Structure 1
Amino acid sequence: MVAVRATMFHLNSPMPAAATPWFELPHAPAPGTVVGTLADFADGAATMAELVSAAGSPPFKMLVLRQGDQVHAFANRCSHFGVPLAARQAQLIYTPLKSLTCNVHYARYAWRTGACEAGECDGEALSPVPLVLDAHGALRVGCAPDAAAFKTTP
């Protein structure tokens, strides 16, 4: 597999407060789950992807942001209040290649890093989801790091 450039925190650097790791969220997909192909995500767009991990379970919703051959993915969960940034694609508020905004409390997050830029999310960030590009061109959820390797800010 070839890694697609995705936003991730370094294992030994502190994660911003309230950034629950994606793999600890309900219905998180297993590593290797297919998200789509690069062509499925428009360049400069934020696209909501829904991944079903088991029959009958609610989907895991994530946001896939494409910038050329770079892809950034985040769990669809506002770090400020734990609600989805948007319930469906049509409600997703973003400025292409710049930021994502929660449509509930209007917290604004940086496109590439998911770090809070404005609103009541100061010092927090979205939860990044690693993606890899396999030899057949499929974008897949990357491996979840060992949770013990993450240091969180109290």
Structure 2
Amino acid sequence: MEGQVSGVPERVLCVLSDIPDGNSKGFPPAPGGFTGLFAIRRGDQVWVYVNSCPHIGVPLDPVPDRFLDAKREHVLCSTHGARFRVEDGFCTTGPCYGESLEAVPARVDGEGRVLVPEDAGL
């Protein structure tokens, strides 16, 4: 356990500089977990989601750390071509239209660490 906010135990996912600005990065499952996470960075903002398409549960990335479309505007499912908004994970096109990625609460602390709930991805 790294810390707590509002009584929720947190763990360090990475440091902000591990995610190139305007890009994404994947992370393996936490110990004992089954599903990895991925993060998208825009400046000092970070969005974290579970790496699972709501359509059939497949991982979104065709190759490590490639979660965004060519213009880096949307999250893209490599299996079915579904597109999701970065800001809220809502599917705008594809077979899971209207559904959303599973968001993970995340924050960047004063030391530049990206923190997520300890049980994220379990």
Quick one: which amino acid aligns to residue 83 of structure 1? Answer: V
Larger Rg: 1
Q: In the alignment, is residue 98 of structure 1 matched against residue 73 of structure 2?
A: yes
CA distance in 2, matches of 1:136, 1:93: 27
RMSD (CA atoms): 2.6
Partner of 1:36: 14
Quick one: which amino acid aligns to residue 102 of structure 1? Answer: C
Shift of 1:135: 3.6
Give me the TM-score of the superposition, normalised by structure 1.
Answer: 0.63
Contact persistence 1:78–1:126 (CA under 8 A): yes
Quick one: which amino acid aligns to residue 133 of structure 1? Answer: V
Higher relative contact order (CA 8 A, sep 6+): 1
- Other structure's SS at 1:65 match: strand
**Structure showing the higher helix proportion among its residues:** 1
Shift of 1:34: 1.0
Runs of 4+ in 1 over 4 A off after TM superposition: none
Contact persistence 2:90–2:99 (CA under 8 A): yes
Partner of 1:50: 28
Alignment length, in residue pairs? 114
Structure 2, unaligned stretches of length 5 or more?
none
Identical aligned residues as a percent: 30
User: Which of the numbers 47, 51, 54 marks the counterpart of 1:79?
Assistant: 54
Give me the TM-score of the superposition, normalised by structure 2.
Answer: 0.78
Contact persistence 1:91–1:103 (CA under 8 A): no
CA distance in 1, matches of 2:44, 2:81: 28
Quick one: which amino acid aligns to residue 84 of structure 2? Answer: Y
Shift of 1:31: 4.0
Within a 5 Å distance, the mapping from 1:59-138 to structure 2 comes to 60-86=35-61, 88-89=63-64, 92-138=67-113
Structure 1, unaligned stretches of length 5 or more?
4-29, 145-154
Contact persistence 1:48–1:88 (CA under 8 A): no
| CA pair 97-111 structure 1, distance change in 2 beyond 3 A | farther
